[in-house]
Homo-oligomer: A and B are copies of this chain.
Amino acid sequence: MRGGAITDLRNKIIHASLHLFEEHGYHGVTVKQIVETVGTSKGGFYHHFTSKDELLFVIHDTFITYVLEKATTANATYTSPTKRLQAIIKSFVKVFDLYKPHISVFYQESNYLKGKYESLIKCKRDQFKKIIFDVVNEGKKCGEFRESLSAEIASMAILGMVNWTYKWYKQSGEKSIDEIGDIFVDLILRAILSNDPTFSNEYHEFILG
């Protein structure tokens, strides 16, 4: 039996590291701690990873790759910028349930990535930003979003609002991740939708009444 099994040592290491990194930070966790948590040895660890740095990279990469794919799919599913943005945000927010520890590590420890690892992640991260930015810009062009909107700032505002969720979201919290996603979409659309009735659509009517 090769790869894939949930009980693979490799996956166990990643899983354990994720939670350790999330709580104590990358430099707050030693390889010794990781292997002891998993119940393996230095040998086991370095059989599957060339370095501690590579482990950090793998965690980053699995997350950003997943998110990027989801955003691309959401983007391809719709044509209207409003619907696209809504789908992207909702799909991204949903990731918090699955990848909370990945996300924490992604945003807390990314500046410890070095060399090629850093470039590889930066590239994908920029792709994701570009998707948001393009949608906002497209929305302005076709009149669904306000013309006066600064696409750059609005994009970063959206990203910030959504990304920041990793700092406070708890699965045990009052609101489900789906509800939070809906609230975010509501807030964002209210903030950026055009008031011009010429371009009004179902969202305008629903949200702006």
**Chain A residues within 8 Å of B, Cβ to Cβ:** 23-28, 108, 111-112, 150, 152-154, 156-165, 167-168, 174-175, 180, 183-184, 186-188, 190-192, 195, 208-209
What's the number of copies of this chain in the assembled complex? 2
Q: How far is the CB of A129 from chain B (nearest CB, A)?
A: 9
Q: How far is the CB of A193 from chain B (nearest CB, A)?
A: 9
Q: How far is the CB of A60 from chain B (nearest CB, A)?
A: 15
- The chain B residue sitting closest to A28, CB to CB, is B112
| Bound CA span A162–B108, Å | 17
Contacts of A27 in B (CB 8 A): 25-28, 112
Q: A108-B111, A187-B192 are in contact. Are A156 and B164 (CB under 8 A)?
A: yes
Q: How far is the CB of A54 from chain B (nearest CB, A)?
A: 17
Contacts of A164 in B (CB 8 A): 156-157, 159-161, 163-164
Q: Is the CB of A157 within 8 A of B175?
A: no
Q: Is the CB of A157 within 8 A of B150?
A: no
Contacts of A186 in B (CB 8 A): 191
Interface centre among A153, A162, A180 (most CB of B within 10 A): A153
Can you list 25 residue pairs at the A/B interface with Cβ under 8 Å? A24-B111, A25-B112, A26-B27, A27-B27, A27-B112, A108-B108, A108-B111, A150-B175, A152-B175, A153-B184, A154-B187, A157-B161, A157-B164, A157-B187, A158-B161, A160-B162, A160-B163, A160-B164, A160-B167, A161-B164, A186-B191, A187-B192, A190-B190, A191-B191, A195-B208
Q: Is the CB of B156 within 8 A of A165?
A: yes
Q: How far is the CB of A162 from chain B (nearest CB, A)?
A: 7
- The chain B residue sitting closest to A169, CB to CB, is B156
| Apart from A152-B174, A154-B187, A157-B187: 17 A-B pairs, beta carbons within 8 A | A24-B111, A28-B111, A28-B112, A108-B108, A152-B175, A153-B175, A153-B180, A157-B164, A157-B183, A160-B160, A160-B161, A160-B165, A161-B161, A187-B191, A190-B191, A190-B192, A195-B209
